[in-house]
Structure 1
């Protein structure tokens, strides 16, 4: 498969009065057509900023200071605003975690969806409206021909999120950036949305970056997983490999903290401490203060170690398969 998206050495920093916040610090990955990459990590690890960087949505005092973002061979870093506006929504779509970042509260859903279609395609208003109704039905909105006339405040939080997802699917984009799009949905609708997006990827060859804290969801939908911590990818590989045998202690900790049906009544394992401020990272490995396997060797920046075919971990000594926190 050819590479649709190639991110190389991406660094997105925020220049604040307190210092330089290295929100994304040297991230690299590639994404082929029809491939889904899961970005996993705690809040503040840099997942959302990485997605915003791809779309050119990082506002001052933040900016991309280094690296390249190639979409179909075109470097988007430093691209004119006019060019990015043509790509956003048509070729690259984003589904935000908060649907109110997508929806305008004073406009009907119909107006917002029809205008989204007409902004990129020369079709009639009726054809745009028919497409909008069809997409609303696909994401589980009941009576879409009637509900399309409603305002965002007339929908529940979960329903608004479904509308936001529908808007992202209007143009069948080549790349979808999904920032925890099913967080506000119940389990049944979550399953429907995931199934629909998997179907879209299969039918159109679209690629997708799926940001989530839920490893169970990521395992279901992603072909590959990139685990992020303190602005860097600390483990990367095929979904089954990372979930089945995580090599980095942080990835292992995330998995061990998930409730299991096989251990009812037992205390959940947890990663001690909290994620460090990216303003004041510890020397060497950023995960060192929270890692039970840390020793003197972790006081220097960890190398990238190959742990299998198309798989690596940023760790001095990647964990053996049987290791657990």
Structure 2
């Protein structure tokens, strides 16, 4: 098990670990075989900090998030590992106890806000029901909390907007409402599954700034699941890079982006347009992501890696090549990206 320590905060409370995942494995049993969607994944996120979980589609990012929330449906199951939320192992809790935490102490923001919003109910109805689900308060108090949450995410005239329906909002405004609902109970942990992917760049930047501010001001730990390294660069404190169900590299964002050690991380950064010279072809990672039903032996990335050798046919161990870094690789790249 490994954990990446955050930067020292001004207060001891801000260094508290909110979530610690230890050796998590989530499998899906199918007729074709066992899909190891998440395989021996470990990470931690501290109070008031943002962890970026990065990787290609199918790398296991979203399944990791759903596993934390206990939302993996059959034929999926958590096959191994511990999920410690403020020291409490979520894998040992029953469904009733998990429901008491979801939306209250742990919240999730989905990529599509309509997974959160009911199209036939007014915003005030939906937000107030969320308040009533976890707090015994008056209707007036629930309405005030809902109004304040909308204002917190930058929605103008929140009193008027509460009486509107989801279809009366733009995509960016609907996503802000979904974020406001996630913040209603000031949760200790928020998991955001690519919530800004479908939004234009201007709205995306506004939402990222607001989420970062809210995490800092309220001490909320945030896991931001994305395939976009440019988002992680401006938002996260730490980054964990996933490939084929495993975290292959983990560390402080500034360190990983400047000096990536795993060839896959190096390839991801090199394929970002801004990292390439004007007029030159984009650098690409050769090959395709392997099927989780038929992973190569040893390092799953070795069939696409230009540095692979015979050692890579073995399972690479977890190493700590530098302070605050984690790596799964026999042949790390040591040069910094210019």
Normalising to structure 2: TM-score of the pair? 0.92
Which residue of 261, 267, 276 maps to 2:290?
276
How far 1:18 sits from its partner (Å)? 1.2
CA RMSD of the aligned region, Å? Answer: 1.6
- What is the distance in 2 between the residues matched to 1:156 and 1:2? 37
My pick for the range that moved more, 260-269 or 30-39, is: 260-269
Q: Secondary structure at the match of 2:320?
A: strand
Aligned to 1:165: 179
Q: Tell me how far apart the structure 2 counterparts of residues 75 and 145 of structure 1 sit (CA, whole Å).
A: 40
What is the CA deviation profile of residues 175-232 of structure 1, one whole-angstrom value per residue up to 9, with x for unaligned ones? 0111112112222222222222222122221111111111111121211110000000
Classify 1:321/1:19 alpha carbon distance in 2 versus 1 (closer, same or farther; 3 Å): same
Partner of 1:83: 97
Kept in 2: contact 1:8–1:29 (CA 8 A): yes
Secondary structure of 2:261 counterpart: coil
**Aligned positions of 1:114-133 closer than 5 A:** 114-133=128-147
* Residue aligning to 2:280: 266
Q: Quick one: which of 199, 215, 218 aligns to 1:201?
A: 215
How far residue 80 of structure 1 moved from its aligned partner, in angstroms, is 0.8
Q: Which runs of 5+ in 1 are unaligned?
A: none
Q: What's the counterpart of residue 121 of structure 2? A: 107
Give the aligned partner of residue 24 of structure 1.
38
Q: Give 1:66 shift.
A: 0.6
> Which residue number in structure 1 is paired with residue 71 of structure 2?
57
Which residue of structure 2 aligns with residue 148 of structure 1?
A: 162
For 2:191, the equivalent position in structure 1 comes to: 177
Q: Deviations over 1:132-153 (max 9, x none)?
A: 2222233233332222222223
Work out the CA distance in 2 between the residues paired with 1:202 and 1:164. 19
Q: Does the CA contact (< 8 Å) of 1:139 and 1:192 recur in 2?
A: no
Q: Over residues 7-29 of structure 1, what are the superposed CA-to-partner deviations in whole Å (9 max), with x where a residue is unaligned?
A: 10100001111111100000011
C-alpha distance in 2 between matches for 1:162 and 1:143: 14
Contact 2:258 2:336 in 1 (8 A): no
Report 1:210-249 matches (<5 A): 210-249=224-263
Q: How many residues align?
A: 324
Q: Which runs of 5+ in 2 are unaligned?
A: 1-14
Per-residue CA deviations over 1:45-67 (Å, capped at 9, x if unaligned) read 01111110111000000010111
TM superposition shift of 1:262: 6.7
* Aligned-residue offset at 1:130: 2.1
169 and 271 in structure 1: CA distance in 2 versus 1, 3 angstrom threshold: same
Hey, what does 2:6 align to over in structure 1?
none
Aligned to 2:19: 5
For the 8 Å contact 2:51–2:224, the answer to whether it is kept is yes
Equivalent position SS for 1:39 = strand
Q: Please say if residues 246 and 252 of structure 1, whose CA atoms lie closer than 8 Å, have aligned partners that are also in contact.
A: yes
Moved more, 23-32 or 293-302: 293-302
Alignment check: 8 A CA contact 1:161 1:184 kept:
no
Tell me the distance in 2 between the aligned counterparts of 1:69 and 1:177: 14
With normalisation by structure 1, the TM-score equals 0.95
Q: Is residue 53–residue 223 contact of structure 2 (8 Å, CA) maintained in 1?
A: yes
Counterpart-to-counterpart distance in 2, 1:174 and 1:191: 23
Cα shift at 1:30:
1.5
Cα deviation, residue 110, structure 1: 1.2
| 3-state SS of 2:100 partner | helix
Q: Secondary structure at the match of 2:41?
A: strand
